[in-house]
Chain A
Amino acid sequence: AQSVSQHNHHVILSEAASLELGCNYSYGGTVNLFWYVQYPGQHLQLLLKYFSGDPLVKGIKGFEAEFIKSKFSFNLRKPSVQWSDTAEYFCAVNANSGNTGKLIFGQGTTLQVKP
């Protein structure tokens, strides 16, 4: 069965620190990959997505992610975090089987940025 694993459940950083959140998936075929963010009290928002092409994807708010097919990974990065980045981050995978658009989410990583 397809699954998504996020390595870090809770990350605490100081402002200006660099961020990397790990995401690995299990699926042997073609996938579409997503990172979503959920700020406190708000709905899920799309940070970035990968469908094909350049494996280094840039998203909103200075976030980027790199798809490494050989490692089944799609790690999220940001060079310098801000207090406003405090949120829950979800990695998600859509197996591009063509039949369904279901997203499989990881369990989420809570990021706390200290001012």
Chain B
Amino acid sequence: DAGVTQSPTHLIKTRGQHVTLRCSPISGHKSVSWYQQVLGQGPQFIFQYYEKEERGRGNFPDRFSARQFPNYSSELNVNALLLGDSALYLCASSSSRGYGYTFGSGTRLTVV
């Protein structure tokens, strides 16, 4: 069985640009969450989607947005990139909202 897959694995963007990160959950999982992990810190919750509806939003600016598609895959979009957005972005999927999450390997975003 494929785990949670994220793409791309790495990317470099310039300040002010826009980025789209993608996530495919484990087959059968309907919940997808996004986290930002800055070096030396624990992951910080950005969004959760369940059955294609936003079910939670963390303390991130409106430059961050996400959506979930009918096949339960998800995209995280970040506009007007700042240097401080450089981080590892993690996607996690779950069969329900609170009972165990499987994480992908993440997308390493570097903003220069």
| Residues of chain A within 8 A of B48, CB atoms compared | 100-102
| Residues of chain B within 8 A of A68, CB atoms compared | none
Contact between chains at B45 and A103 (CB < 8 Å):
yes
We find that the number of chain B residues with CB closer than 8 angstroms to chain A is 28
> Nearest CB to that of A108 among chain B residues?
B42
Contact between chains at B96 and A101 (CB < 8 Å):
yes
0/1 per residue, A55-76, Cβ < 8 Å to B? 0000000000000000000000
Shortest CB distance A52–B (Å): 11
When the two chains form the complex, which single residue of B41, B45, B99, B100 contacts A102, counting CB atoms closer than 8 Å?
B45
A26 at the interface (CB under 8 A from B): no
> Nearest CB to that of A1 among chain B residues?
B59
B18 at the interface (CB under 8 A from A): no
* 12 interchain pairs, CB-CB under 8 A: A43-B90, A44-B90, A45-B103, A46-B100, A49-B100, A90-B42, A94-B98, A100-B48, A101-B96, A102-B56, A103-B45, A103-B92
Query: Closest 8 CB pairs between A and B?
Result: A105-B42, A100-B56, A101-B97, A44-B103, A43-B105, A102-B45, A101-B98, A102-B56
